[in-house]
């Protein structure tokens, strides 16, 4: 059944209550199914099992509230912010709420994904309604007890009060409430009455983190568990021929050396497809050991022979093909307004620039790992994964298990950045567990992660502008990328609609190097290219860079173009806020500023970077950020996300170099691969635009404008434009701060 109209959608279909054996009340709901009108609904709602839901509110007879957060936590704070939304509508005191991670528990209509900064946006209404529904049922139970009308009751902090001043706690009425019909209509709070949303709430796992308690996949242990390391082809395009495990088997603690790969090939042959499945067909050598160290040493001792199946690629090759796409091919047109060719023919002046970005590994601080135990009857999986549903689905198909035989527990994740959207390590460990019929944990080293990754692909942009009579009349953006191209919506980001003759086209090269989403896919580099290009245009037009953006945005909101993704007003709001807070143009001598603004993942962001020059090198002092993400659910968490996004953006733009030679990544660990460190980080000041609009994501949007703001500041200071990342390479200097 497909539901198209919101009206068809009754609360009863996504919410269910029951009395707990322990006496409390359990409210289950399916938060993403509920907010997706096209989602398949269960056929028989009455017979649903509680396992069919992915989010729960539990209220005990003592009045304690436990909220099982449905979304995997990768560090973006949803495990705190989502329960805050429920607690707000439920009207309980935040300090009385416990938050736990809900596991993925079978049945096929569930969906738990952390990625794309969409978590909060897509679940805002559902979480509010779930909380409000529970509250209304509890109030109804109290009204029945007192035999008064529900409208005469008041609630605060989980205590219901009637006109006589009598009180009942939620715990006193849970039993009765659980038996009531789920109401069809509930009233949501007025935004002005919010007491939890908009107030700082610290990370719910905070104390466990600072005391070193087990939380992450790498920390998980089970009785009888063994450890596995996987030797994969050293170059993209190679496969295993043979191996000698004599030395490996002599390492103390090594139990066995096996191969995997057959199940991957079977899955591929079956024609089954899943976007999170990204594995090569090669056999891989697996060392099974009693402990991690033996597994690592054993792997080093394997002598393997590899053969080349498809051409081994290099960074030089990618440079060549991407330049070829930019200069010699017709791309796929993603958007075209007016007559771009004519605008360029009639221009007073044409500016054309090309921007380049390297491959990037994700480098989550916690290396990829996963636990599996597969017996004849069932599958138990535990670990950090952003896409539990897809992972369980593929494992079910690979090993012939129905979804209700698969139990997947999610751990806290030591970073995601897009890497844990792909389940390669889950499928590998499942094949190992299936083969050895023992509980096993796959462990990757940093070298494994960096050299057999799923990379942000190298991308190039060529941007041209046609200037006439001091105005930008034509704009042409061409993207050349590897294994994929910008999402369709990106062609309708700024400056779409602001320039009368406008064209975006894309071209692609298929590579055997695995690539995938990386924090703020495409926009993580596109924003730099565009925002430095506009800075250059401002210089060319003799205009203040901020004023140039504001002029271009002048009439955008009056255009009736539904495809346009961003709001002119909201873009202007963040620009004006950052101009004021960042003291644009009013800083002390010796400080140079750069500006950038970008809309991505439904959030508008503007940034100003302040730098100074020390010993001829740029030192980034401060970044001021203005953000419009609608209602800010948890200010401390939101700021943390934005600060991190900005510094991540700067770090990768400045330092992150990566390359391939003969199919092999040439960077393997943090001795050569450079991540930003504390003494290189500027202060980040974050300001939010205050409004009453639906909250939008924060995990990604802070990142895209950061590189552009810094590059523009470097130009202001040194008169040197940057066209490629990392900047330090472009600046031909090896260190910034020594």
Partner 1 sequence: MPNYTLNVNGQQRQVTVDEDTPLLWVLRDELDLVGTKFGCGIAQCGACTVHIDGVAMRSCQMQVSILDGTKITTIEGLSTDGKHPVQEAWETIDVPQCGYCQAGQIMTASAFLAENKNPTEEEIRNAMHGNICRCAAYNRIEKAVKLASKNL
User: What, of partner 1, ligand FES, none, does residue 213 touch, CB below 5 to 8 Å by kind?
Assistant: partner 1
How many residues bind ligand FES (CB under 6 A)? The answer is 3
End-to-end CA distance of the chain: 63
Query: Could you identify the residue written with the tokens 């269910």?
Result: 16
- Give the ranges where 363-451 is alpha helix by DSSP (H): 388-399, 424-436, 446-451
Smaller CB distance to partner 1: residue 210 or 589? 210
If the CB atoms of residues 610 and 648 are measured against partner 1, the closer one turns out to be 648
- Report d(CA 449, CA 224) in Å as an integer: 26
Sole binder of ligand FES in the list 63, 233, 331, 415 (CB under 6 A): 415
Site track for ligand FES across 54-83, x = CB under 6 A: ---------------------x--------
Q: Give yes or no for a contact between 639 and 687, defined as CB atoms under 8 angstroms apart.
A: no
Site string (410-449) toward partner 1, x via CB under 8 A: --xxxxxx---------------------------xx---
Instruction: State the minimum distance, in angstroms, from the CB of residue 412 to ligand FES.
Output: 10
Contacted entry of partner 1, ligand FES, none for residue 679, CB cut-off 5 to 8 Å set by kind: partner 1
- Does residue 191 touch ligand FES according to CB under 6 A? no
The nearest distance, CB 112 to partner 1, in angstroms, is 17
Q: How far is the CB of 74 from partner 1 (least distance, A)?
A: 6
Q: Which is nearer to partner 1, 125 or 636 (CB)?
A: 636
Q: Which residue is nearest to ligand FES (CB)?
A: 365
Q: How many residues does the chain have?
A: 738
In the chain, how many H helices and how many E strands? 19, 28
DSSP conformational letter for 458: P
From the list partner 1, ligand FES, none, which binds 51 (C-beta under 5 to 8 Å, kind-based)?
none
Q: Measuring CA to CA, which residue among 384, 322, 387, 325 is closest to residue 357?
A: 322
Of 534, 709, 702, 696, nearest to 622 by C-alpha is 709
Distance in Å, CB of 646 to partner 1, minimum: 8
Residue in 144, 143, 183, 179 with CA at minimum distance from that of residue 17: 179
Of 35 and 289, CB closest to partner 1: 289
x/- letters, 343..382, toward ligand FES (CB under 6 A):
----------------------x-----------------
List the structure tokens of 341.
């060719």
Q: Which is nearer to ligand FES, 638 or 713 (CB)?
A: 638
Taking the C-alpha atoms of residue 357 and residue 486, their distance in angstroms, rounded to an integer, is 14
Of residues 307-366, those binding partner 1 (CB under 8 A):
363-366
Provide the minimum distance between the beta carbon of 114 and ligand FES in the complex, in angstroms, as a whole number.
14
Please choose which of partner 1, ligand FES, none residue 206 contacts, taking the beta carbon within 5 to 8 angstroms, the exact cut-off set by kind. Answer: partner 1
- Taking the CA atoms of residue 582, residue 585, residue 591 and residue 593 in that order, the dihedral angle to the nearest 10 degrees is 70
Minimum gap (Å) between residue 200 Cβ and ligand FES: 18
Closer residue to partner 1 in complex, CB, 178/647: 647
DSSP-assigned letter for residue 390 = H
Scan residues 653-692 and list those touching partner 1 (CB under 8 A).
Answer: 669-671, 675-679, 681, 683-684
Cα–Cα distance, 491 to 508 (Å, whole number) = 16
116 lies in the binding site for ligand FES (CB under 6 A): no
Give yes or no for residue 17 binding partner 1 (CB under 8 A): no
Q: Is 155 helix (H, G, I), strand (E, B) or coil?
A: strand
Q: Which structure tokens are listed for 622?
A: 């401060």
Instruction: Give which of partner 1, ligand FES, none residue 292 binds (C-beta under 5 to 8 Å, depending on kind).
Output: partner 1
Closest distance to ligand FES from the beta carbon of 284 (Å):
24
Interacting residue with partner 1 among 78, 99, 215, 325 (CB under 8 A): 215
- Give strand pairing partners of 546: none
| Nearest distance, CB of residue 480 and ligand FES, angstroms | 32
Q: Contact, 19 vs 179, CB < 8 A?
A: yes
At residue 407, φ and ψ (nearest 5 deg) are: -115, 120
The pair of three-digit structure tokens given for residue 93, joined into one six-digit string: 């005191």
Options 61, 176, 219, 239; binder of partner 1; rule CB under 8 A: 219
Q: How far are the Cα atoms of 208, 514, 585, 595 from residue 582, in angstroms, in the given order?
A: 36, 40, 9, 10
Q: Which of 556, 492, 557 is nearest to 526 (CA)?
A: 492
| 263 is a contact residue toward partner 1 (CB under 8 A) | no
Rule CB under 6 A: which of 533-562 touch ligand FES? none
- Radius of gyration over every alpha carbon of the chain, rounded to an integer in angstroms: 27
Of 164-172, 228-236, 288-296, 460-468: span binding partner 1 (CB under 8 A): 288-296
Check: CB of residue 700 under 8 Å from CB of residue 645. yes
Kindly state the smallest distance separating residue 298's Cβ from partner 1, in Å: 12
Residue 365 vs 693, nearer CB to ligand FES: 365
Binding characters for partner 1, 81-100, by CB under 8 A (x = yes): --------------------
Report in angstroms how near the CB of residue 487 gets to partner 1 at its nearest.
24
Q: Which is nearer to partner 1, 198 or 500 (CB)?
A: 198
Buried/exposed 566-603: b ≥16 CB within 10 Å, e otherwise = bbbebbbbbbbbbbebbebeebeeebbbbbbbbbbbbb
Closer residue to ligand FES (CB): 80 or 481 = 80
What residues contact 183, with CB distance under 8 A and at least 6 apart? 11, 133, 136, 137, 140
For partner 1 (CB under 8 A), the number of binding residues is: 63
Strands 97-101 and 65-69: parallel
Between strands 238-244 and 303-308, the pairing is antiparallel
Q: Which residues pair with 17 in a beta bridge?
A: 27
Contacts of 54 (CB under 8 A, 6+ apart): 30, 31, 32, 70, 102, 104, 105, 110, 111, 112
The minimum distance between CB 202 and partner 1, in angstroms, equals 4
Q: Does 641 bind partner 1 (CB under 8 A)?
A: yes
Residues 6+ apart with CB under 8 A from 542: none
What's the closest the beta carbon of residue 543 comes to partner 1, in angstroms?
Answer: 33
CB of 368 to ligand FES, least distance (A): 15
Task: Restricting to residues 172-201, name those near partner 1 by CB under 8 A.
Answer: 200
Q: Which does 291 bind (CB under 5 to 8 A by kind): partner 1, ligand FES, none?
A: partner 1
CA 320 to chain centre: 31
Is 287 in contact with 298 (CB distance < 8 Å)? yes
| Binding of residue 223 to partner 1 (CB under 8 A) | no
- Tell me the two tokens of residue 377: 């009857």
Binders of partner 1 among residues 447 to 466 (CB under 8 A) are: none
Residue 724 corresponds to which tokens in the numbers above? 């490629």
Among 187, 293, 310, 580, binds partner 1 (CB under 8 A): 293
Written as six digits, the tokens of 672 are: 């050569």
Shortest separation between residue 566's beta carbon and partner 1, angstroms = 26
Sign of the C-alpha dihedral, residues 286, 287, 293, 296? Answer: negative
Q: Which does 445 bind (CB under 5 to 8 A by kind): partner 1, ligand FES, none?
A: partner 1
Rounded to whole angstroms, the Cα distance separating 642 from 652 reads 15
Give the C-alpha separation, 218 to 292, whole Å.
11
Footprint of partner 1 on this chain (CB under 8 A)? Answer: 74-77, 200, 202-203, 205-207, 209-216, 218-219, 221, 227, 252-253, 291-294, 296-297, 363-367, 412-417, 445-446, 636-637, 640-641, 643-644, 647-648, 651, 669-671, 675-679, 681, 683-684
Q: Which residues bind ligand FES (CB under 6 A)?
A: 75, 365, 415
């Amino acid at each position: 059944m497909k539901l198209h109209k919101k009206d068809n959608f009754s609360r009863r279909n996504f919410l269910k209550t029951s009395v707990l054996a322990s006496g409390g009340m359990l409210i289950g709901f399916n938060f993403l199914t509920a907010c997706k009108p096209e989602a398949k609904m269960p056929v028989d709602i009455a017979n649903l099992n509680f396992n069919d839901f992915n989010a729960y509110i539990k209220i005990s007879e003592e009045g304690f509230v436990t909220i099982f957060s449905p979304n995997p936590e990768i560090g973006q704070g949803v495990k705190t912010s989502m329960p805050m939304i429920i607690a707000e509508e439920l009207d309980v005191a935040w300090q009385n709420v416990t938050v736990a991670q809900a596991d993925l528990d079978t049945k096929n209509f569930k969906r738990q994904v952390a990625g794309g900064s969409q978590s909060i946006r897509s679940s805002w209404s559902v979480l509010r309604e779930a909380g409000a529904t529970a509250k209304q049922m509890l109030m109804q139970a109290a009204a029945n007890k007192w035999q008064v009308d529900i409208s005469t009751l008041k609630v605060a902090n989980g205590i219901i009060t009637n006109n006589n001043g009598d009180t009942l706690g939620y715990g006193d009425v849970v039993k009765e409430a659980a038996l009531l019909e789920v109401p069809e209509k509930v009233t949501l709070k007025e935004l002005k009455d919010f007491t939890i949303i908009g107030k700082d709430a610290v990370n719910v796992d905070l104390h466990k983190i600072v005391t070193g308690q087990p939380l992450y996949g790498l920390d998980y242990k089970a009785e009888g568990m063994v450890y596995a390391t996987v030797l994969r082809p050293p170059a993209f395009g190679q496969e295993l021929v043979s191996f000698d495990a004599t030395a490996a088997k002599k390492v103390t603690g090594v139990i066995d050396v096996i191969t995997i790969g057959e199940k991957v090939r079977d899955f591929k042959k079956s024609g089954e497809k899943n976007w999170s499945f990204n594995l090569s067909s090669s056999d891989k050598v697996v060392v099974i050991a009693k402990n991690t160290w033996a597994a690592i040493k054993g792997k080093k001792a394997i002598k393997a022979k590899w053969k080349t199946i498809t051409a081994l690629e290099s960074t030089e090759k990618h440079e060549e093909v991407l330049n070829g796409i930019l200069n010699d091919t017709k791309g796929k047109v993603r958007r075209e307004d007016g007559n771009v060719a004519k605008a360029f023919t009639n221009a007073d002046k044409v500016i054309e620039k090309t921007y380049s970005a390297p491959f990037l590994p994700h480098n989550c601080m916690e290396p990829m790992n996963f636990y599996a135990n597969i017996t004849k009857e069932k599958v138990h999986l535990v670990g950090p994964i952003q896409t539990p549903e897809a992972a369980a689905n593929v494992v079910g198909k690979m090993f012939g298990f129905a979804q209700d035989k698969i139990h997947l527990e999610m751990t806290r994740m030591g970073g995601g950045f897009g890497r844990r959207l792909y389940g390669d390590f889950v499928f590998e460990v499942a094949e190992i567990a299936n083969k050895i019929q023992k509980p096993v944990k796959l462990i990757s080293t940093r070298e494994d992660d960096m050299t057999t990754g799923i990379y942000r692909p190298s991308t190039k942009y060529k941007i041209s502008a046609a200037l006439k009579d001091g105005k930008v009349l034509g704009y042409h953006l061409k993207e050349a990328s590897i294994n994929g191209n910008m999402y369709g919506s990106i062609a309708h980001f700024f400056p779409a609609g602001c320039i009368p003759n406008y064209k975006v086209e894309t071209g692609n090269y298929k590579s055997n190097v695995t690539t995938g989403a990386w924090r703020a896919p495409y926009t993580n580099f596109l924003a730099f290219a565009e925002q430095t290009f506009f800075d250059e245009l401002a210089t060319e037009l003799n205009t203040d860079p901020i004023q140039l953006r504001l002029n271009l945005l002048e009439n955008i909101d009056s255009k009736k173009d539904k495809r346009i993704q961003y709001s002119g007003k909201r873009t202007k709001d963040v620009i004006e806020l950052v101009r004021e807070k960042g003291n644009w143009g009013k800083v002390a001598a010796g400080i140079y500023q750069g500006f950038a603004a970008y809309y991505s993942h439904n959030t508008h962001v503007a940034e100003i970077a302040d730098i100074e020059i020390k010993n001829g090198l740029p030192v980034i002092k401060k970044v001021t950020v203005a953000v419009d993400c609608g209602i800010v659910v948890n200010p401390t968490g939101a700021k943390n996300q934005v600060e991190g996004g900005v510094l991540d953006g700067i770090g990768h733009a400045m330092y992150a170099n990566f390359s391939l030679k003969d199919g092999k990544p040439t960077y393997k660990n943090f001795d050569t691969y450079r991540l930003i460190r504390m003494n290189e980080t500027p202060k980040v000041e974050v300001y939010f635009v205050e409004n009453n609009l639906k909250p939008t994501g924060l995990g990604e949007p802070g990142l895209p404008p950061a590189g552009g703001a810094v590059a523009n500041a470097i130009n202001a200071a040194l008169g040197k434009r940057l066209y490629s990342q990392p900047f330090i390479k472009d600046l031909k200097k090896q260190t910034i701060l020594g």
